[in-house]
Amino acid sequence: MRAAVYHGGEQGIAIEHLADPHAQPGELLIEVGFCGVCGSDVAMTSGSAFDYPAGRCFGHEYAGTVVEIGAGVSGWRLGERVACRPKTACGACDLCREGHLLLCPGGAHLSKGFAQFVAVPVEAAVRLPQSLSLADGALIEPMACGLRAFRAAALRPGDRVLVLGAGSLALSAIWWARRLGAAKVVVAARSDHRRDICHDFGADAFVSLSDDDPDAIAASLGGAPHVVAECVGKPGMIAKAVEQVRPGGTILSLGMCMAPEPILPIGLTFKEARLIFPLGYSEAEFEETARAFDQAGFRPEQMVSDVFPLEAVGEVIARLRAGAALRKVHIDPRIAA
């Protein structure tokens, strides 16, 4: 099969021919339909200390079709459509018992979606509701992150929410803030080319980050935000969130900034604000996201701006790193080379 393999450095992504995987006992073999390019894929193929290990396949936002069923697996049929969680957990450690599956030091890493096929343990596969396409399914993973974040923030109905940024994580934050009962959701971003889709996902207003004085944003929200979701991941953005959040409020750092972040802790102290760094989602939150799409009649694939073949992974990541105005990009390994 064809798969993207990372070998280190900004130019280290190669499309290679690897042995076809097969479903081992307890596994399903998935033909990948779509795999999303995440901001973390850009950050972790940049030659930094947080890079993926050299020689590793990657891609963690994927959905596909069951094409082989391993021994001992019951209740599944060939042709069923699934979204896949990119990591399993041991289920026995303290972190697992607390629901932090992505932090478990055990389990299997299944971030291999930039490939034609992936074999996954059956517990990592979540059936797609009939209303969702494979493209929708590949968006369950990034959209589940917003649910996890607002659960961590203990968002209450009637709260005011400010979202910094307008990328796919920001869209997840907008959608979940609205679904969980936020009274007002305002987006602040540097470019307004995503204004319309932010409104489509539930934002009440869109302001430019160049004009984001606290009074203007408070006027749009009807008061300072109870929760600020930082979804940019650039130095200075957490400091901006500290400036904006109301006393007693919560800041969610979702942007995964890879550089030192200058903040004055006293700014948080005088507001008695919380700063939380959510990571991923629980197994239940992943499944809840799929159900929520179905119940709401929501088709998240509208956030996808471009679909490319597998051979374009390296080029797409390079373009995103350079600041290309792409929204969410999907890779379709079924497209012939």
3-state secondary structure 124-159: HEEECCCCCCHHHHCCHHHHHHHHHHHHHCCCCCCC
Give pLDDT tens digits for 279-333.
989 889 999 999 999 998 888 888 999 999 999 999 999 999 888 878 899 999 9
**Confidence at residue 48, expressed as pLDDT on a 0 to 100 scale:** 79
User: How far apart are alpha carbons 161 and 166 in whole angstroms?
Assistant: 14
Q: pLDDT tens-digit profile of 121-132?
A: 999 999 999 999
pLDDT, the chain, mean: 93
- Show Cβ contacts of residue 94 under 8 Å, excluding neighbours closer than 6 positions: none
Instruction: Give the pLDDT confidence of 88-132 residue by residue, as tens digits.
Output: 998 899 988 887 777 888 888 899 999 999 999 999 999 999 999
Beta strand residue intervals within 192-303, DSSP E? 205-208, 227-230, 250-253, 274-276
Record the tokens describing residue 258, joined without a space: 């890879």
Residue matched to tokens 């081992």: 24
Q: Is the pLDDT confidence value at 57 over 70?
A: yes
Phi, psi of 130 (to 5 degrees): -60, -25
pTM of the model: 0.93
CATH of 146-276, one of 2.40.30.40, 2.40.10.330, 3.40.50.720, 2.40.50.90: 3.40.50.720
Average pLDDT over residues 39-59: 88
Distance CA 169, CA 171 (A): 5
Query: Average pLDDT, stretch 20-38?
Result: 98
CA angle 96, 88, 155 (to 5 degrees): 55
Pinpoint the residues of the chain covered by CATH 3.40.50.720.
Answer: 146-276
What architecture is domain 2-133+299-332? Answer: Alpha-Beta Complex (3.90)
**Ranges for all domains in the chain classified under CATH 3.90.180.10:** 2-133+299-332
Residues 123, 220 contacting (CB under 8 angstroms):
no
What's the confidence (pLDDT) of residue 211? Answer: 59
